[in-house]
Structure 1
Amino acid sequence: MQKKRVLSGIRATGRLHLGNYLGAIKGMIALQENPEYETLYMVADLHSINTPYDTKTFQSDVRGVVLDYLSAGLNPSKSTIFIQSQVHEHVELSYLFSSVLTVARMLHLPTYKDKLKENPENANMAMLYYPVLMAADILIYKADAVPVGDDQLPHLEVAREVARKMNEKYGT
């Protein structure tokens, strides 16, 4: 039986905390220990730059998430643990995916609208592009499951839409 592939990640916005553990890492560890799954866990550093961040501490924040993953129990002999920006194909594929999505579609996403309402001075193109990059994160690994919070569900729908449109356009 082929294992189901699971992809998950946490943004590198500082050291992880109890909320990260209870909301994500605890479940990541459980999936890692289940022999039915192949688990891929990333430090989503590219997703971290769509909101204000400290350029002086960013690289140490990225390393800190890796260390926190390991100290919490993610095991590199059982899971693939990687830093998103170190896999250049994420950005390359997301650029191709952007050709099948409209700006209007991205502007209508509730997550973007909420962020824009909360903090209009920090609205940038990376924030608008976030779901396209997330689609690349998911589709590059052909993930069967992507555990996310409710706020990310519209982004999963964008990934499905991208997959459908790319398949229609390129016959794959």
Structure 2
Amino acid sequence: MTDPMTTPADPALESAADDASELIEQSNSEASLSRTIARSDEIEADLPVHPERYRMLTGDRPTGFLHLGHYFGSLANRVRMQDLGVETYVLIADYQVIYDRDGVGDLQNNVLNAVIDYLATGIDPQRTTIFAHSALPGLNQLLLPFLSLVTDSELRRNPTVKDELAGSTRPMSGLMLTFPVHQAADILFCKANIVPVGKDQVPHIEQTRLVARRFDERYGRVNPDEPVFPQPAALLSAAPAILGLDGTKMSKSKGNVIELRMSADETAALLKKAKTDSDRHITYDPTGRPEVSNLVLLTALCSGRTPEEVAAEIGDGGGGGLKKAATEAINGHLEPIRARRRELEQNLDHVRQVIRDGNERAAAVADQTLSEVRQAMQMVY
């Protein structure tokens, strides 16, 4: 049997690899982004008509409690996709916790609380598969063949890896270096063909497409009519950017977030400290008045109105009037979610069973995919 790792390089494959690498590097270019946006728009239009065509993978790193940024940025969209009838997988990326830190922290509680937030916001475990990274040996075994399909320099050009290299004062772990390929395994194990991301994450999807394409080029197919892996598309998020209460990037470490688990009183106290400005007339101007506009936006999202309508209603009410409106809208919107959350906190056996059931379903999918990979690689003995 010929070993593809030791035979002379195929110029055609090298050319395809070079083209794919160039695509990753240029994925933030205006032309590439325009194509990605156009494809995303096409998918969004088709989703309500043909939801059965799509399988979505998304997830979170369990490092703490989920907050309003998570809710409007991703959780609400997951419920929307689920309700449309899209086959949905939600990953709790517990292995990613150790990419850039020495320990896992309060991982057990973080995972349980993530699932509680999922269920409280409307994610249905009968229609959405919720699973943990570490519980799927078949998914993680995909790392080995996938790593053979990328180069060290390609990994180091990935935006997340580059940021880690540039911003960390400690040596980067080998696991962090493999992050782009691990993410490809997350997406491809279930053959997801859409992944909701922001524009800054498009290079991650291009990396996954590259892995899928190279696997087909190098190892071939089990079914002659289709590759083992689809090339997933980025489903660009339409969620507006939400700042923290201090006007900077929302971050749990800064304490500038409203967590879904917080009480109405805790939320009100945080909003009283939120940053505004000295102009009493409230307007929606994200560029000129980011802090004020952020509270206007949150109020609008939680009350089902436009930011312009909210700003006009508050008018000359000043920062005090804005904070009062924001508090009422946010607490009103979150009240049923918090009530459901309290019920789930009293029934952790159910929460753990949701994870176990999801792990079992996802593991069966991962094992089937790994079996196809081994067949394509002629490793079934």
Give the TM-score taking structure 2 as reference length: 0.43
**CA distance in structure 1 between the partners assigned to 2:102 and 2:199 by the alignment:** 24
- Residues 18-167 of structure 1 correspond to what in structure 2 (within 5 A)? 18-35=68-85, 37-52=86-101, 54-121=103-170, 123-167=172-216
Query: In structure 2, the residue corresponding to 1:100 is in which secondary structure?
Result: coil
Task: Please list the CA deviations of residues 90-149 of structure 1 after superposition, one character each: whole Å capped at 9, or x if unmatched.
Answer: 210012100111111101122211222222316222221111011111111111101122
Shift of residue 151, structure 1, vs aligned partner = 3.1
CA shift for structure 1 position 53: 6.3
d(CA) in 2 for partners of 1:68 and 1:53?
26
Q: Is 1:11–2:61 an aligned residue pair?
A: yes
Change (3 A) 1:14 1:96: same
- Cα displacement string for residues 52-96 of structure 1 (whole angstroms, at most 9, x for unaligned residues): 265341122122211111112111012111112111112100121
**Could you tell me the percent identity over the aligned residues?**
39
Question: Could you say which structure has the larger radius of gyration?
Answer: 2
Deviating 4+ runs (over 4 angstroms): none
Matched-pair contact (CA < 8 Å) for 1:13–1:53: no
Name the SS for the 1:26 alignment partner.
Answer: helix
1:59–1:151: structure 2 CA closer, same or farther, 3 Å change rule?
farther
- Kindly indicate whether the alpha-carbon contact (under 8 Å) linking 1:111 and 1:151 is maintained by their aligned counterparts in 2: no
Secondary structure of the residue aligned to 2:88 is strand
Change (3 A) 1:122 1:67: farther
Matched residue pairs, number? 171
Q: 1:143 to 1:164 in 2, by over 3 A?
A: same
Using the alignment, how far apart are the partners of 2:62 and 2:169 within structure 1? 22
3-state SS of paired residue (1:121):
coil
Answer 1 or 2: which has greater strand percent: 1
Partners of 2:144 and 2:166 in 1: CA distance: 26
